Structure 1
Amino acid sequence: MVERLTVDYSLRTQDDPRKVAETIAGEQSSGTFIATPGEDAALKERAAATVEILEEFEDEGSPVLPGSSGGDRARSFGLRLSWPMTNFGPSIPNLLATIAGNLFELKGVAGLKIQDIHLPESFKTAYLGPGFGIEGTRRVAGVSRGPIVGTIIKPSVGLDPDETASLVEALCEGGIDFIKDDELQADGPHCPFDERLRAVMAVIDRHADRLGRKVMYAINLTGEIDEMLRRHDLVAETGGTCVMVSLNSVGPTGLTALRRHSSLPIHAHRNGWGYLGRSPDNGWSYRAWHKIWRLAGADHMHVNGIANKFWEPDDSVIESAKACLDPLFADRPDRVMPVFSSGQTVMTAHPTFERLGADDLIFTAGGGIVAHPQGVAAGVRSLREAWEAAVAGVPLEEAAKNSAALSKAIETYS
């Protein structure tokens, strides 16, 4: 039996929906706008994409894509297409060309969003997937239970290596679990990668014995493939325990190359996700999009945060995090750590745990830690206490009665 790839879309069209669905299937497999020599029944049987499902649901009435053909009323449909894997094989770049290529440009398409990808088994053998995932990240970070409490180097850019190390010193003294570079800081002339790494690791190593673990530092090595591999090796040689990469900047091929080379957890930042996922009926759902990166080898995936400073609703954030906690393949330990960020404070610990129902996550707070009036250590302590209360089912205000740091954090961030 021929192995097939199946993809779910939401389709909006003002044209005949069956005709548009068949056009998409043809455009993305063996067909084009006119019959061509050699496109006989046997070839179509062998190579054509198939419309598996076309089911109408209520249309929200939002504006359609520019240049859409047909009438003046759009209708919405759940569309499932499948392709024979013999068309392109287990290749992420060619998977993307197939499922997310010219179909968005067809005149009959008034809106199209990739909702889910059902990966066949051949992808599991072709790609390594996460090297550490949840269990490996906990082991390397030395945090066996509860959320991994972290923060982001702020200001995003402007600090030199020594100033960055000074901030890391305060964070390590405060007992932080995890620190990451901002996505804007990789290898700028004011804060070169090599110098920043050595300055920060000197601090982390100095605190390791006292803490009984190394604070996990996700240093941003985003760059050309050869640069990333060299930087990875320097991190490993220096005793670092994590690397970070901007997914949309390096692409799936870049991440795949890094994963095949890497001996460290890969912290995957989704910056730029908004131009792919913000529209309700165009682009990608997070559930579908994140599978590409998990397959390529990400260990941690950003999902935004509850009550975030951006556009994303809480329901979407939680759905994204739950997707990270679902296995990609049933028989492979490939769950990844969802990373909560964006305006997170002690006030969002309880709703995050209540909605997610799990504490396998990295919870990064910038201002929610470093802006605590009593200092960085109090910021770390208050955030940890808020999470301990959330997991134990103790109301936040009740827990604050026994903690000056938590009480002050509630006052500050409410």
Structure 2
Amino acid sequence: MSDARIYATYWIETAFPLEQAAATMAGEQSTGTFVRVPGETDELRAAHAARVEEITELGEVALPSLPGSGLPKTGDATRRAARVVVSWPISNMGLSLPNLLATINGNLSELKAFSGLRLLDVKLPAEFLTRYQGPQFGVAGTRTLAGVHDRPIIGTIIKPSVGLSPEATADQVRVLVEAGVDFIKDDELQADGPHCPFEQRTSAVMRVINAHADRTGKKVMYAANLTGEIDEMLARHDHVLAQGGTCIMASMNSIGLPAMKMLRAHSQLPIHGHRNGWGMLGRSPAIGMSYIAFQKLWRLAGIDHTHVNGIANKFCESDDSVIASARECLTPMFDAPHPGCEIMPVFSSGQSARQAAPTFAALGSVDCMFAAGGGIMAHPAGPAAGVRALLQAWEAAVAGVPVAEAARQSPELEAALAAFGG
């Protein structure tokens, strides 16, 4: 195996000297323990010890961000924050995403020396592409299957999340495809419940989508939530494919990286990676990991699109964090000439025509899905007007026309701005 290295960047908070704290991180996640042991030879350390590559002090911290941290023997309680870069030889864990995760985000969060420790980013060598396939469709392939180019893919979600029968779900899909939407997804809570079995639901939905495609030539992409045990997911994929479907969806945190790798190897359809549960890893600024680091692991495992939240969303994430995540999805993971593994960012969470302009201004691209539930279904003039309002808002944003000015010529957009104010 080559001498390539993995680089991980962290934010840390500690009362210990920064160099000592960083060395503790490197030792804990490679060759070291709390004392030197006989087998830890100089030769072994030279070959396998993690290296502290960089320490950037960020200033003092008044109070510990997390409970349970300790103080150095000197008793000095001055806590400082820093940005630390640590690297490992790829030979430590091999080409394995599960073992990579154990290395870069394993016991570190529990170390007593730290009152805060968060993974910010990870840079992987291209050798990982010899084992992991990365996205099969990505941005370009998704656009081809959806038949949408040069603008965002306008999407929505089946609501209510649970409780609908297969027939009722298909009825809602009929309304949405006739409204002109490009993409529809199951809610992550709806997979294969007894009131709405997966095969019955997807068959009913695809009959509607296929009939609409036969009439109009437009085949709406439907992300069917196949989350489950590995054998179930593979069988569900095959059912969607047989029904003429063009997308599948899986809850990433629920199935894990190895299951996603297997699903990607089997799949002939784009994989819509749902990030539900990411808040447990990402919400606290003092622990867990950033979405920038998180999505890289899943891109390599094989997802083609993933949620990044949305501007002025209903959750707790800031707009800056949302846009940073979306930009990263569109940024190559590896240096040329290796595949970039770019994927489609999905904006969602309380989105409406009002967010089109600020989203485009911040992202600087139309390579995204823009998903609205209430922003489509609750439009005063109905779902078709809701879809048209979103298209009008994005057209104005790309043209640099203020949305209020565009609304004077577009009654659907004008009504959307009035309905979804605030």
Q: TM-score, normalised by structure 2?
A: 0.96
**What per-residue deviation string (whole Å, max 9, x for no partner) do you get for residues 309-328 of structure 1?**
01111111111100111011
Per mean C-alpha deviation after superposition, the further-off stretch among 34-43 and 229-238 is 34-43
Give 1:266's aligned residue. 271
Deviation at 1:273, TM superposition (A): 1.1
Give 1:334's aligned residue. 341
Per mean C-alpha deviation after superposition, the further-off stretch among 321-330 and 53-62 is 53-62
Match of 1:126 among 122, 126, 131: 131
> Contact 1:124–1:329 at 8 Å: present in 2 too?
no
Give 1:65's aligned residue. 66
> Contact 2:65–2:286 at 8 Å: present in 1 too?
no
> Contact 2:241–2:269 at 8 Å: present in 1 too?
yes
Number of residue pairs the alignment of both structures matches:
414
CA distance in 1, matches of 2:407, 2:130: 50
Match of 1:385 among 373, 392, 396: 392
Is 1:278 the equivalent of 2:283?
A: yes
Is 1:49 the equivalent of 2:50?
A: yes
Deviation at 1:64, TM superposition (A): 2.7
Partner SS state of residue 110, structure 1: strand
Match of 2:184 among 179, 190, 193: 179
Give 1:359's aligned residue. 366
> Contact 2:61–2:79 at 8 Å: present in 1 too?
no
CA distance in 1, matches of 2:377, 2:63: 41
**What per-residue deviation string (whole Å, max 9, x for no partner) do you get for residues 197-242 of structure 1?**
0000000001103332210000100011111111001111110000
Q: TM-score, normalised by structure 1?
A: 0.98
Q: Once the two structures are aligned, what percentage of the paired residues are identical?
A: 58
Residue type of the alignment partner of 1:241: T
Partner SS state of residue 344, structure 1: coil
Unpaired segments ≥5 residues, structure 2: none
Give 1:346's aligned residue. 353
Deviation at 1:158, TM superposition (A): 0.9
Residue type of the alignment partner of 2:398: V
**What per-residue deviation string (whole Å, max 9, x for no partner) do you get for residues 146-185 of structure 1?**
0000001011111110010000000011111000011111
Summarize the alignment of residues 167-246 of structure 1 with structure 2, pairs less than 5 Å apart: 167-246=172-251
> Contact 1:175–1:211 at 8 Å: present in 2 too?
no
Partner SS state of residue 257, structure 2: helix
Residue type of the alignment partner of 2:354: M
**What per-residue deviation string (whole Å, max 9, x for no partner) do you get for residues 335-370 of structure 1?**
110000000000000010011110100000000000
1:346 and 1:60, CA in 2 relative to 1: closer, same or farther beyond 3 A?
Answer: farther
CA distance in 1, matches of 2:220, 2:294: 30
CA distance in 2, matches of 1:348, 1:213: 26
Partner SS state of residue 36, structure 1: coil
Deviation at 1:333, TM superposition (A): 4.2
CA distance in 2, matches of 1:80, 1:154: 44
1:60 and 1:266, CA in 2 relative to 1: closer, same or farther beyond 3 A?
Answer: farther
> Contact 2:250–2:272 at 8 Å: present in 1 too?
yes
Per mean C-alpha deviation after superposition, the further-off stretch among 14-23 and 284-293 is 14-23
1:34 and 1:263, CA in 2 relative to 1: closer, same or farther beyond 3 A?
Answer: same
Give 2:17's aligned residue. 16
Is 1:159 the equivalent of 2:164?
A: yes
Partner SS state of residue 6, structure 1: strand
Deviation at 1:46, TM superposition (A): 1.0
Match of 1:141 among 141, 146, 150: 146
1:287 and 1:59, CA in 2 relative to 1: closer, same or farther beyond 3 A?
Answer: farther
**What per-residue deviation string (whole Å, max 9, x for no partner) do you get for residues 380-406 of structure 1?**
111111111111111112221222211
> Contact 1:129–1:297 at 8 Å: present in 2 too?
yes
Deviation at 1:59, TM superposition (A): 4.3
> Contact 2:10–2:117 at 8 Å: present in 1 too?
yes
Residue type of the alignment partner of 2:48: A
> Contact 1:64–1:74 at 8 Å: present in 2 too?
no
CA distance in 2, matches of 1:137, 1:171: 19
Partner SS state of residue 284, structure 1: coil
CA distance in 1, matches of 2:112, 2:68: 6
CA RMSD of aligned residues (A): 1.1
Give 1:295's aligned residue. 300
Give 1:368's aligned residue. 375
